[in-house]
Structure 1
Amino acid sequence: MQRYAVMFRVKPGTEDKVKDLLANYSRPGWVAPDGTRLMSTSVFMKDGLVVRMIEIEGNLPGLMRHLSQEPSIQRVEAELDKYLVEEDRRDASTPEGAREFFLRAMMETVTTRVATDAEPVS
């Protein structure tokens, strides 16, 4: 499983609207045409900084293409764009625009630690 995170900032005073938007949109299709599976998503927010984390099995470009064409994602991204600070705005209506945003907003993975069955529980 691979994990990715993107971050972006929202305008001051819009945090509650953004929380509601990101917590209540319709789920996208979990499997892309190339077989990539979206395993989970999480959204975190503090002081106008939003971090979206996804876990996938497969390849990220295939998932990005798939999500950029999903109607529920197109709707939430169009609405979300109204609340972003100017330098974080993007065109998520095309696969190219979504790709450009992901590349610019993607956070660097520093480490991932996963418990194994062999580790004792304290």
Structure 2
Amino acid sequence: MQRYAITFRVRPGTEEAVKELLMSYRPPKLHAADGTRLLGGSVFMKDGQIVRMIEIDGTLDGLIEHLSQDASIQDVERRLDEYLVEEDRRAADTPDGARAFFRRALMEHVTTRRAPDRAAAADGASS
């Protein structure tokens, strides 16, 4: 499983509308043409800063290609664009625009830490 996150900013006073939009849109299809699968996602917001985290099994290129062509994502991105600060606006309702936006908004992955699974933890405790 891989995790990716993108970030963008919304105009002051639009946070509630953005929150409602991001909580209510129809999810994208879960399987991409190249076999990439969307496993889950989360959205975080603070003071107009949005972070969208996506978990996949597959490739980043497969994810970007898939989301850039998914009708639900094209719709929500088109609607979302009206709330963004000018510097973060994009043409994400077209495949090329979505690809360019995703690459520009992609956050650097620094680290992921997980607790060991129970079997591994038990093996480590007995040795």
**Under TM normalisation by the shorter chain, which class is it?**
over 0.9
Residue 107 of structure 1 pairs with residue 107 of structure 2? yes
Aligned match of 1:36 = 36
Greater shift, 7-16 or 96-105, is seen at 96-105
- 1:33-112 to structure 2, matched below 5 A, reads 33-112=33-112
TM-score, length of structure 1 as denominator length: 0.94
Q: Which structure is larger by alpha-carbon Rg, 1 or 2?
A: 2
* Kept in 1: contact 2:74–2:92 (CA 8 A): yes
Matched positions, count: 120
**Runs of 4+ residues deviating >6 angstroms:** none
TM-score, length of structure 2 as denominator length: 0.90
Higher helix share: 2
Shift of 1:94: 2.3
1:76-102 CA deviation, whole Å, 9 max, x = no partner?
Answer: 000000000000001112222111111
RMSD: 1.1
Greater shift, 19-28 or 110-119, is seen at 110-119
